[in-house]
Amino acid sequence: MRFKNYSFQKKVFIGRKVKKICKKNNVKFLVNDDPILTKILNADGCHLGQNDMKIHKARQIIGKKIIGITCHNSISLAKTAIKSKPTYLAFGAFFSSKTKKVKYKATTKILNDVKKITKIPLIAIGGINNENYKNLLLNNASLLAISSYIWKNKKYKPSKAIERFE
């Protein structure tokens, strides 16, 4: 759940609804940037960006739940993150995205390089769609974060967009 410009109360209100939907569909519910909100919602975990709370402090708040760390396109950030034992490492953006402005451009080289130094799952983020996802999976992406292709697709409704991956 990623809402940058909403009040905390609105995030809690929406988060409770999203959690029910995720639970009904047996999908993990992660909160972006906010371990405190993660705890209040009893979400499955939290994703932390480079400017968010450090993982050791987040662990004090949410315990053994999922915590992912953004590493952009940097082996150095990945090595630092690995020391803190996150659940996953996220890299991107791999492609242009409608979700947010791309500051860091990643290539499959970063996935292959990081895979050589860790067994931690690697997540690919940014502009992923039904035409470009396979190459990421073939190059050590463990999971894909796909947002705009599903939620901002002008051609397909979300359910149809998801079916295009099957």
Predicted confidence at residue 11, as pLDDT, reads 96
Same domain, 92 and 40: no
Interatomic CA distance for residues 144 and 166, integer angstroms: 14
- Output the pLDDT for position 147: 86
Same structural domain, 18 and 96: no
- Domain identity same for 119 and 152: yes
Closest residue by Cα to residue 124 from 139, 144, 96 = 144
**CA-CA distance, 152 to 156, in Å (whole number)?**
9
Structure tokens at 107: 């290539």
Which amino acid is residue 150, in one-letter code? Answer: I
Same domain for 78 and 149, yes or no, is yes
- Taking only the tens place, the pLDDT of each residue in 51-64 is 999 999 999 999 99
Within this chain, do residues 140 and 124 fall inside the same structural domain, yes or no? yes
Concatenated DSSP letters of the chain: ---SSS-HHHHHHHHHHHHHHHHHTT---EEES-HHHHHHHT-SEEEE-TTS--HHHHHHHHTTSEEEEE-TT-HHHHHHHHHT--SEEEEE-SS--SSS---S---HHHHHHHHTT--S-EEEESS--TTTHHHHHHTT-SEEE--HHHHS-SSS-HHHHHHTT-
Please indicate, yes or no, whether residues 56 and 109 belong to a single structural domain of this protein.
Answer: no
Q: What pLDDT does 28 receive?
A: 92
Could you tell me the residue range of the domain that residue 25 belongs to?
1-63
Write down the pLDDT at residue 102.
73
| pLDDT lower than 50: segments of the chain | none
Domain end among 63, 97, 117? 63
The count of structural domains within the chain is 2
Of 63, 85, 106, which closes a domain? 63
The verdict on 102 and 144 lying in the same domain is yes
In this structure, the answer to whether residues 39 and 76 fall within a common structural domain is no
Same domain, 57 and 79: no
